[in-house]
Chains A and B, each alone.
Chain A
Amino acid sequence: MPTYVNPNKCDGCKALDRPACHYICPSDIMALDPAIGKAYNREPDMCWECYSCVKTCPQSAIDMRGYNDVVPLGASLTPLRGTDAIMWTVKFRDGQTKRFKYAIRTTPWGSIEPFKHLGAQEGISLRSQELYGHAQYHGVAQIPVVAHAKSTQS
């Protein structure tokens, strides 16, 4: 279902060097309309409804309208994404509302140390089969092998 931008909330990300939705959209379809200084979805039929733009908009200006070939009107799905959880508000066409909250991350954003075990990789080498962090992450001491087999068409 394609996204649409609420002109009363969108400010074209004036404070940022590029509109957030334009920056994040994996499909390259959220763009700034220079005539009105606000964002818009320039190719609705290439929208996967990934919600990346909806989640990232600092003004919560973007919403979703269900695909025109299938989805009856009147419902909505609204995310509120925090740093460790996301809340979804589901409004049904008949007015019923459900709200769900799910974890999204157990560590602070920016906290990953990719090679924190840099100094503890003895025993593995560029030519051996182990990947980085084998001793710390794999859980099994030896990488298993299976014997070479003869070709079935020798």
Chain B
Amino acid sequence: MIKPETEVVECDVLIIGGGMAGTGAAFEAAYWAKEKGLRVVIVEKAAIERSGAVAMGLSAINCYMGMKWGENQPEDFVRYVRNDLMGLSREDLVYDIARHVDNTVHMFEEWGLPFFKTEDGRYKREGRWQVMIHGESYKPIVAEAAKKAVGEGNIYERIFVSHLLTDWEDSNKIAGAVGFSVRDHKVYVFKARAVICSAGGATNVFRPRATGEGLGRIWYAVWNTGSVYNLMMQAGAEMTQMEHRVVVTRFKDGYGPVGMWFLMFKAVSKNGFGEEIEKTRVHELQEWLPYGNIRPIPTPLRNHLMLNDIKEGRGPHYIRTDEALQRMFAEHQNNPKKIREIEADGWEDFLDMTMSQALLWASENIDPAKTPSELILTEPYLMGSHASACGAWVSGPEDIAPKEYFWGYNRMTTVKGLFAAGDGVGASAHKFSSGSFTEGRLAGKAAVAYIGDHPAAPNMDQDRVESIKASLYKPYEVFEEHRGSSTREEISPHYLLPKQALMRLQKTMDEYGAGPGNYYVTNEPTLRRGLELLKLYKEDLNKLAARDLHDLLRCWELRDRTACAEAHLHHMLFRKETRWPGYYYRGDFPKLDEDNWKVFVNSRFNSPTGEYEMSRKPYIALVP
């Protein structure tokens, strides 16, 4: 029987998750908190220096306007994002990030992040919104700034936050959070007047294409386990677009990035018969008007064309790195120095952010100048920072949000004092790293303003805290109680180890939740069956067993993944339409329905009843 020590941490702004959004929130909140003498605390389940999706680095910053150079204006970005995601976007949130992100990016440069530059001193662009960086140390640099901003004593690492706490006197008001140490038997109770949820998106909810060790080789960070969504759902926050997963096209198996190859090196994708499907299948886009006429072709529609091609047996699909490089070498008269530079850039793209792709090339003896690589559509991911928009339904900024989108404080959820940023904010896509950090800053500043207006200390529900503490170590008790039931502790009829249970979730979601195994298709009877299976599954989660703190962490991460899975199925069920072909299809509603479904699908999880209360919210265009 574990009897953990308890530490109570009193603070003003609590930031859950120390990734790009969390460090952004910490940085900005710390600035505004100074003059008011407020305490800003970050809690992170790993070590901030290398936590979150940017842990290993990035080769590009994908959200930069370049306003000072007249390169782009926020309206341009709003249009791009709205178009890329088939017409639905919280334009106030996207505009707000776009009008601030340059501040963040310039500050990164001052901090020490190296940028590729052009001869006239501008950032070298990979594409319209993207600039190239030497980003191996992107996260450690940003982490250094955030840690210094809040101060060492306000950084809590290796602590997994499992529950938010709401106010004893007002269940729709935040009071803090509870977490457990992943290193010692110790529980942390955080009391806070404002909480910012910035703990990343959700991966490994679906059975990945990889198998065996490859489970770890997924495209988005394997340690982004959906906690941000479950924390907020359990607290009763309204969520949006939990159906809006992302599926991306990447280098097969290694999942290396394709941005530089397509945008800068102008590589072309060709199928097994040398056809460019964006030409041979372009007429298929007419089924998805008006979005089918948009250029660049929206991300879901590009996937859709590739999927159609695959289903007709025209694969594999190749990214013609060989043709692109040969063309580039020829453009430089095969100058050896230039060839080495181009080659170095090509490898850096992987070595800065997806080393496994580089290792895969080396292991298969691939020279990209001689051999093309295969492309693949990934398994689905639930996140809000990329070309998809899962997350909390939050207020926009006061000066531009219409009344339907504003309720007091920028990036505040429908729970008072609970804010979100990064993957945690829904309907605000294409922010990537710099946009997530910027959104964190916006939330951090707003959280300090909120505290100024709502200075009352939170009322902790002590019974709730004790009940949570008692539940945290239950998986240990389950293991201890039943470990003798088998000669091999891995196999027992009375419990499941977290990895074993994860397999069942992933297979269920692949088969019933429009996974790749089903060509990303689902329908009402399939979704309902999936929800039935998840209901049984959730009961079995009470029989998760943990042998050590690492297992315990995995148990609670699994609970978060499961909540994301369930929300995802409910949202897909509610939206009677296919809006994002290439991400998922409703077989029973296979077309766009602009008249009825050009709206946001929102939900509120009712903790006591376990029901999802679904609703629609209007889409309002801010930019013509």
Asked if B80 CB lies within 8 Å of chain A CBs, one says no
Pick from B52, B355, B404: contact of A51, CB under 8 Å: B355
Evaluate contact between B216 and A104: CB separation under 8 angstroms: no
Question: How many angstroms from the CA of A28 to the CA of B403 in the assembled complex?
Answer: 44
Evaluate contact between B348 and A102: CB separation under 8 angstroms: yes
Q: Which residues of A contact B51 (CB under 8 A)?
A: 26
Evaluate contact between A139 and B68: CB separation under 8 angstroms: yes
Asked if B5 CB lies within 8 Å of chain A CBs, one says no
Pick from B78, B112, B217, B448: contact of A67, CB under 8 Å: B217
Asked if B445 CB lies within 8 Å of chain A CBs, one says yes
Q: Which residues of A contact B441 (CB under 8 A)?
A: 131-132
Question: How many angstroms from the CA of A78 to the CA of B20 in the assembled complex?
Answer: 27
Evaluate contact between A46 and B215: CB separation under 8 angstroms: yes
Q: Which residues of B contact A68 (CB under 8 A)?
A: 212-214
Interface residues of B in 432-475 (CB under 8 A from A): 438, 441-442, 445, 448-449, 452
Interface of A is mostly: loop
Asked if B222 CB lies within 8 Å of chain A CBs, one says yes
Evaluate contact between B212 and A102: CB separation under 8 angstroms: no
Evaluate contact between B103 and A69: CB separation under 8 angstroms: no
Question: How many angstroms from the CA of A66 to the CA of B356 in the assembled complex?
Answer: 8
Question: How many angstroms from the CA of A112 to the CA of B214 in the assembled complex?
Answer: 38
Q: Which residues of A contact B539 (CB under 8 A)?
A: none
Question: How many angstroms from the CA of A143 to the CA of B32 in the assembled complex?
Answer: 19
Evaluate contact between A77 and B359: CB separation under 8 angstroms: yes
Closest to A127 in B: B449
Evaluate contact between B216 and A48: CB separation under 8 angstroms: yes
Q: B354 to chain A: closest CB distance in Å?
A: 8
Asked if B223 CB lies within 8 Å of chain A CBs, one says yes
Evaluate contact between B148 and A112: CB separation under 8 angstroms: yes
**What total of chain B residues lie within 8 Å of the partner, measured CB to CB?**
98
Asked if A44 CB lies within 8 Å of chain B CBs, one says yes
Pick from A29, A88, A139: contact of B67, CB under 8 Å: A139
Q: Which residues of B contact A111 (CB under 8 A)?
A: 112
Q: Which residues of A contact B360 (CB under 8 A)?
A: 66, 70-71
Asked if B623 CB lies within 8 Å of chain A CBs, one says yes
Evaluate contact between B103 and A133: CB separation under 8 angstroms: yes
Asked if B344 CB lies within 8 Å of chain A CBs, one says yes
Asked if B27 CB lies within 8 Å of chain A CBs, one says yes
Question: How many angstroms from the CA of A152 to the CA of B600 in the assembled complex?
Answer: 13
Interface residues of B in 539-576 (CB under 8 A from A): 550, 553
Evaluate contact between B618 and A98: CB separation under 8 angstroms: no
**What total of chain A residues lie within 8 Å of the partner, measured CB to CB?**
82
Interface residues of B in 356-382 (CB under 8 A from A): 356, 358-360, 362-365
Q: Which residues of B contact A148 (CB under 8 A)?
A: 400-403, 622
Pick from A81, A102, A152: contact of B620, CB under 8 Å: A152
Evaluate contact between B144 and A112: CB separation under 8 angstroms: yes
Q: Which residues of A contact B293 (CB under 8 A)?
A: none
Q: Which residues of A contact B413 (CB under 8 A)?
A: none
Asked if B84 CB lies within 8 Å of chain A CBs, one says no
Closest to A56 in B: B50
Question: How many angstroms from the CA of A75 to the CA of B106 in the assembled complex?
Answer: 38
Q: B394 to chain A: closest CB distance in Å?
A: 16
Asked if B136 CB lies within 8 Å of chain A CBs, one says yes
Q: Which residues of A contact B114 (CB under 8 A)?
A: 103-106
Question: How many angstroms from the CA of A74 to the CA of B359 in the assembled complex?
Answer: 10
Question: How many angstroms from the CA of A42 to the CA of B216 in the assembled complex?
Answer: 13
Interface residues of A in 115-154 (CB under 8 A from B): 115, 118, 126-127, 129, 131-134, 137-140, 143-153
Q: Which residues of A contact B448 (CB under 8 A)?
A: 126
Evaluate contact between A28 and B347: CB separation under 8 angstroms: no
Q: Which residues of B contact A73 (CB under 8 A)?
A: 363
Q: A110 to chain B: closest CB distance in Å?
A: 7
Pick from B32, B45, B50: contact of A126, CB under 8 Å: B32
Evaluate contact between B348 and A100: CB separation under 8 angstroms: yes
Asked if A62 CB lies within 8 Å of chain B CBs, one says no
Q: Which residues of A contact B348 (CB under 8 A)?
A: 100, 102
Interface residues of B in 204-256 (CB under 8 A from A): 210-218, 221-223, 253-254
Pick from B222, B358, B365, B452: contact of A94, CB under 8 Å: B365
Can you name 20 A-B residue pairings with CB atoms under 8 Å?
A2-B216, A47-B216, A67-B212, A67-B214, A69-B211, A70-B214, A70-B360, A77-B362, A81-B136, A92-B365, A102-B136, A105-B113, A112-B148, A113-B148, A115-B30, A115-B31, A144-B74, A146-B78, A148-B400, A150-B402
Given A26-B51, A93-B363, 11 more A-B residue pairs with CB atoms under 8 Å apart are A28-B553, A44-B216, A45-B212, A49-B355, A66-B360, A67-B217, A113-B148, A114-B27, A137-B104, A149-B402, A151-B620
Q: Which B residues contact A (CB, under 8 angstroms)?
A: 27-28, 30-32, 34, 45-47, 49-52, 55-56, 67-69, 73-75, 78, 95, 99-100, 102-104, 106-107, 109-114, 134, 136-137, 141, 144-146, 148-149, 158, 182, 210-218, 221-223, 253-254, 344, 347-348, 351-352, 355-356, 358-360, 362-365, 397, 399-404, 438, 441-442, 445, 448-449, 452, 499, 550, 553, 618-623
Q: Which A residues contact B (CB, under 8 angstroms)?
A: 1-2, 23-29, 31, 42-52, 64, 66-77, 81, 86, 88, 90-94, 96, 98, 100, 102-115, 118, 126-127, 129, 131-134, 137-140, 143-153
